[in-house]
Structure 1
Amino acid sequence: MHTVKPRRGGTVIGVLTVACVLVASPAFAARGPGGSDGGVKTTGKKSGNAIESRITYSGTGSGSGGGAAAGNVTPVGDWTPPACWYEPVSAKEFQKQVEGQYNQVVNDPQQPNYAKSATGQFRDIYKDGKYKNYNLDKAGEGNWWVAVQDPARMDHPDAFTCSELPFWVKNGDTPAVKSAVTPQILAELAYNRIILPNTKITLAPKDTTKVNLPTWAWLDRATFKEVSVTATLNAGGLDIQATTTAKPVALKLEPGTEDAQTYPASGDCTINDDGSIGEPYAPGKADENPPCGITYLRSSGGGTFKLRATITWEISWTGTGGTGGTLPDGAFGGTQDVTVEEIQAVNR
């Protein structure tokens, strides 16, 4: 078995897997998150001979948070969003991609002969084999459905599970493959493009605290808000969309040392009715235990402890045709330095 990968710097020519004379489907690229403002706003498009995903993404981007750092939500558990799926491409677009890929490979002196042969065999299936001239004479009756890979997850094993050769589907028919794009597939792809704010919490005392002194921790309601991304596909006779929304529901504190006590004991601070987490410190509460916080039991010895704060986000979605539901919770966190000093006492 040989695997032929596209040369860097060139157009996408897919991945051709050759076992004897069996040729696997070329995969198309799906664009990831982007936008100069840190938000999510991408558009599928054609690039050279390659056909990129027609799915577009838009949403509230990185939302707001206590700092500039932000990142993608990480699913809690073993579930991951799709690394590949199938979506429709018109007969004309499919012809252009296959012919362009064929010409690129056979005219490239750096491509081995088996790659050129495999590309030719693949082309023959659609030009003058099982199908005739890419079904251009049936262009108004249906579309080609092709495997699409998320370029941000090309190294993931699941990216190569969509191994069906491009296949023809008549208008109104349901593709007979598991990962054909649907509102739920769109919702799962939108999940992977949710950008969350960082999780720098407010502390009192700020940055530097004392041994055995309760440190209060909180997040204001205005700091963390719901974040949503909408995925839309309007191509190949489909006009579907789904909006995936992440809602903050809990904060977990990890002090950075075993010599500490968290409040509550689990370190899991739930969200309040008003959307805030924890409670701001107020004068007169120095002897009280905070609803969300930490007491360090030893000093940081002239250094710092890495306090990690992780927000759990509840994920839900709504889509075309009244579809919707929930997806696995997501998490995103960060660390901040906390200096812990011994309380100095003077004996007289």
Structure 2
Amino acid sequence: MNVSRKILLHTSTVASLIVGTLILTEPAHAVEPTSNGRGASTEQVGGGKKAGIYAAARIQYSGSVAKGGGTGNVTSSDVSWTPPPCWYAPYLSAKDFKKKMSKDIESTKNSPGMTGTAGAAIGEMERHYEDGYGWTDTPGYKDYNIENDGKGMFWAGVENPNEPDYLKRTSCTDLPFWVENGEAPPPQYEEAISPEILAALAYQHMELPDTKVTLAPEANTKVNLPTWAWLDKAVFDEVQATAALNVPGFNIQATTTARPVSLKLEPGTKDAETYPASGECVINADKSIGEPYAKGKADRTPPCGLKYFRSSGDGTYKLQATITWEIAWTGTGGAGGDLPDGTFGNEQAVTVQEIQAVNR
């Protein structure tokens, strides 16, 4: 943080009480299934109705996305990586911003205890937007920049509602700032919405298909009998999710693509072994995983599968089948890159009987 923005810090604390941060809300309309049947098109809107003013920021998700996004959809294999906790996005036009700020500042000034440092901060912020008072890289505005109404928008902080850490979620505390239509936000606002941020949000909202592997024997397997496991290519394909922000003079989007690369089998007990020994079954050339069991393969070792050494008794073992997905993104202006691999899986109940048998 540079010097001028440090000066703004105490003013921003008061500003957060006056302006508030935009919070992504639940979609205002019903979610409709997409053509691939694996997800839903939905949108989440920044801000909302307050005093007759609507925030303009709107992120729309499409493709294979889960309503609301967040936990449970895809988990990053890189524990240090998380989607952005907050960002800056278009907020209000000059006229709407003036209307809202003028009302909120006046209300706050008349609140009990608004003296001393707090009162000075309010006055400083009022001068910033009304009288052109600014800092080194933070210019002030005359009459809320009304003369440029329609030529740009004021941007403000947006919280990611799926970020559990409140301090991270509310860390975009800089005062709302003006961005001309078609122009990029000033470089000091590193958290300004961008194709890369949209790609990370699409990642967070992505809904992947359930990982239910086909087993042979299908219902009950036997102790010391190799159990074959596989996934057909028809149910094991890449998944895409897109996030887009479209407001006057500023339109960007990013598409995140998840491509399956391997299947990890965990038997649910130490009394078992996997094939291969690592339990990691790689994808085949035809985009399938493993090999279907067929008559005559009983004496062969399955390329993907497992063997149990002990009966499950009156219960079952919880076989965990997890797919690793390679994830990349492309966005507006030719931007793109890789994101951390994602994992997604579920449990399957496996009954193991204490009967020696051979699959013929």
TM-score by length of 1: 0.80
CA contact (8 A) 1:32 1:150 kept: no
Query: Which secondary structure state, in structure 2, belongs to the residue aligned with residue 222 of structure 1?
Result: helix
Following TM superposition, by how much is the alpha carbon of 1:337 offset from its aligned partner in structure 2, in angstroms? 0.7
Which residue is equivalent to 2:240? 228
CA contact (8 A) 1:269 1:292 kept: yes
CA contact (8 A) 2:22 2:47 kept: no
Which residue is equivalent to 2:58? 54
1:210 equivalent in alignment to 2:222: yes
Separation in structure 1 between the aligned mates of residue 11 and residue 151 of structure 2, nearest angstrom: 34
Separation in structure 1 between the aligned mates of residue 300 and residue 269 of structure 2, nearest angstrom: 22
CA contact (8 A) 1:58 1:231 kept: yes
1:158 equivalent in alignment to 2:159: no
Which residue is equivalent to 2:3? none
Query: Which secondary structure state, in structure 1, belongs to the residue aligned with residue 61 of structure 2?
Result: strand
CA contact (8 A) 1:99 1:123 kept: no
Q: 1:197-256 deviations in whole A, cap 9, x for unaligned?
A: 111111111131111101111111111221111111122521111111111111101110
Identity of counterpart residues, as a percentage? 52
Structure 1 residue runs of 5 or longer lacking an equivalent are: 1-17, 63-69
Which residue is equivalent to 1:9? none
Separation in structure 2 between the aligned mates of residue 344 and residue 173 of structure 1, nearest angstrom: 69
CA contact (8 A) 1:308 1:333 kept: yes
- Quick one: which amino acid aligns to residue 209 of structure 1? T
Q: State which of 7, 23, 48 in structure 2 corresponds to 1:29.
A: 23
Following TM superposition, by how much is the alpha carbon of 1:143 offset from its aligned partner in structure 2, in angstroms? 2.4
Which residue is equivalent to 2:231? 219
- Quick one: which amino acid aligns to residue 76 of structure 1? S
Q: Is the alpha carbon distance of 1:119 and 1:150 closer, same or farther for their aligned partners in structure 2, counting shifts above 3 Å? A: farther
Which residue is equivalent to 1:299? 311
Larger mean CA deviation between 330-339 and 199-208 belongs to 199-208
Larger mean CA deviation between 233-242 and 184-193 belongs to 233-242
Following TM superposition, by how much is the alpha carbon of 1:189 offset from its aligned partner in structure 2, in angstroms? 1.3
1:1-348 paired onto structure 2 within 5 Å: 22-25=13-16, 26-31=20-25, 35-37=31-33, 38-42=39-43, 44=45, 47-49=48-50, 51=55, 53-61=57-65, 71-77=72-78, 78-89=80-91, 90-98=93-101, 124=126, 128=130, 130=133, 131-153=141-163, 155=165, 157-171=167-181, 172-176=183-187, 177-343=189-355
Query: Which secondary structure state, in structure 2, belongs to the residue aligned with residue 286 of structure 1?
Result: coil
CA contact (8 A) 2:325 2:342 kept: yes
Matched length: 319
Separation in structure 2 between the aligned mates of residue 96 and residue 243 of structure 1, nearest angstrom: 36
Query: Which secondary structure state, in structure 2, belongs to the residue aligned with residue 23 of structure 1?
Result: helix
Following TM superposition, by how much is the alpha carbon of 1:97 offset from its aligned partner in structure 2, in angstroms? 4.6
Which residue is equivalent to 1:4? none
Q: Is the alpha carbon distance of 1:299 and 1:168 closer, same or farther for their aligned partners in structure 2, counting shifts above 3 Å? A: same
Separation in structure 2 between the aligned mates of residue 196 and residue 233 of structure 1, nearest angstrom: 23
Q: Is the alpha carbon distance of 1:218 and 1:32 closer, same or farther for their aligned partners in structure 2, counting shifts above 3 Å? A: farther
Separation in structure 2 between the aligned mates of residue 39 and residue 119 of structure 1, nearest angstrom: 45
Q: Is the alpha carbon distance of 1:92 and 1:207 closer, same or farther for their aligned partners in structure 2, counting shifts above 3 Å? A: farther
Separation in structure 2 between the aligned mates of residue 122 and residue 224 of structure 1, nearest angstrom: 58
Larger helix share, 1 or 2: 2
Separation in structure 2 between the aligned mates of residue 28 and residue 182 of structure 1, nearest angstrom: 17
Separation in structure 2 between the aligned mates of residue 295 and residue 190 of structure 1, nearest angstrom: 38
TM-score by length of 2: 0.78
CA contact (8 A) 1:53 1:148 kept: no
Which residue is equivalent to 2:136? none
Separation in structure 2 between the aligned mates of residue 225 and residue 104 of structure 1, nearest angstrom: 55
Following TM superposition, by how much is the alpha carbon of 1:112 offset from its aligned partner in structure 2, in angstroms? 7.5
Q: Is the alpha carbon distance of 1:243 and 1:28 closer, same or farther for their aligned partners in structure 2, counting shifts above 3 Å? A: same
CA contact (8 A) 2:13 2:173 kept: no
Larger mean CA deviation between 167-176 and 314-323 belongs to 167-176
